[in-house]
Amino acid sequence: MDSKEYRPLTVPKLSWNKKLINVTFGELTAQPLEPGFGITLGNALRRALLGGVEGSAVTSIVIKGVTNEFSPLTGVVEDAMQVILNIKEIIIRNTDGKPGSMRLRVTGAGQARVADIQADSHLELINKDHVIANVADGGELDIEMFVETGRGYRAAQWPVGQALQEDNRIYLDAMFSPIRKVTFDVEKTRVGGEIDYDRLILRVHTDGSENPVDVVHYAVSVLRSQLEHFLISTEIPFNEISAVPVHESVPESSSTERASLASIPVDFLLKPIDELELSVRAHNCLINAGIKRVIDLVNLSEDEGLKIKNFGRKSLTEVKESMKAFGLSFGMNIKEKDLQKMLNDAQMSE
């Protein structure tokens, strides 16, 4: 058995900027990181986000009365090519990742928009105001669209050796990725007396079919699953030996408590629950129950929370989501004397 002792790695704390986050943009900060790890992790996450996240797109269509993508459309201002380009800009949220179909049928003068499309129940259309075509008086537009899921870009999958398809299907190239843009910055941050640790700030832009938190989770899962296959022997348990960040000492306690304290700023736990930016209802219920600080809240169990007067399941869910953004949860069982000792040790090391 390998008895070699390894140096621990610094455990970073992750936090999303709650003032900026929405369905299309998120800013994630990870700190502190080992010197040089900001660039390493930033590049890896950026590449995984841009090329490894699944999404759904229209990959083939059948336009009534049309046999190829260069045909004019009777009674429609745009030709088939222009309509196809507009179809490729439809943003689709696929709730189960399975293939599906959609139908657009517009008769008479008017604009054909994404909102007019009838889609399978597991397909949700995001940009409903997007215009597909303009139909003239007496005109008709009837399109069946087929949706698939994939990663990155895929060229049109035309069957080999067939100039025309029996159902007049037209195949499209597709950009499946829900990611529009990913950027990151690396800054220096301090851990105790050391000033050369990294802070990674990752900014993720999506098309609205997936939110930034979920796509980062997906990208990290992709990276982790790929890297696991590079291990040639038993993994070195850095997660276990790195529970305590460098220059920070934690009193004897359970492994769960050590891991929890390692990833959360100690002073934050002692601040008022106002820091969590809860709704007025949830905030007042907690205050009236004597839950005034963050540490008081995280030491509650969910069952205890539900017993608070006027604090129902909806409020519980809201508070859980707010705590999750700071790496917190119910039932953490953190002792205040441990926090005070950590604060004293940190001040002495500075």
DSSP for 59-92, please give it. Answer: EEEEETT-SSTT---TTBSS-HHHHHHHHTT--E
Report in angstroms the alpha-carbon separations of 72 from 59, 112, 320: 21, 17, 55
Residue 244 scores a pLDDT above 50? no
In this prediction, residue 119 carries a pLDDT of 95
Distance, in Å, from the CA atom of 83 to the CA atom of 76, rounded to the nearest integer, reads 10
Residue 210 scores a pLDDT above 70? yes
- pTM of the predicted structure, to 2 decimals: 0.67
Average pLDDT over residues 196-216: 94
- Helix crossing, 280-288 with 313-324: angle to 10°? 100
Give the mean pLDDT of the chain.
85
In this prediction, residue 28 carries a pLDDT of 95
In this prediction, residue 277 carries a pLDDT of 81
Domain 254-350: give its CATH superfamily: 5' to 3' exonuclease, C-terminal subdomain (1.10.150.20)
1-51+178-246: CATH architecture: 2-Layer Sandwich (3.30)
Kindly report which listed range (65-74, 149-158, 206-215, 263-272) carries the lowest average pLDDT score. 263-272
Same fold, 1-51+178-246 and 254-350: no
- Among the CATH numbers 3.40.50.1100, 3.30.70.260, 2.30.30.100, 2.170.120.12, which is that of 54-175? 2.170.120.12
**Residue boundaries of the structural domains of the chain:** 1-51+178-246, 54-175, 254-350
Distance, in Å, from the CA atom of 343 to the CA atom of 269, rounded to the nearest integer, reads 11
Residue 251 scores a pLDDT above 60? no
pLDDT digits (tens, 9 = 90+) for 137-146: 989 999 999 9
Which secondary structure element, helix H or strand E, spans residue 52, and what is its range? helix 37-52
In this prediction, residue 199 carries a pLDDT of 93
Average pLDDT over residues 314-329: 81
Which secondary structure element, helix H or strand E, spans residue 33, and what is its range? strand 25-33
Residue 261 scores a pLDDT above 90? no
pLDDT digits (tens, 9 = 90+) for 63-97: 998 988 888 999 999 999 999 999 999 999 999 99
Residue 248: band (very low, low, confident or very high) from pLDDT cuts 50, 70, 90: very low
Residue 254: band (very low, low, confident or very high) from pLDDT cuts 50, 70, 90: very low
81: exposed, middle or buried (C-beta count within 10 Å: 0-12, 13-18, 19+)?
middle
120-137: burial string, b at 16+ Cβ within 10 Å, e else = beebebbeeebebbbbee
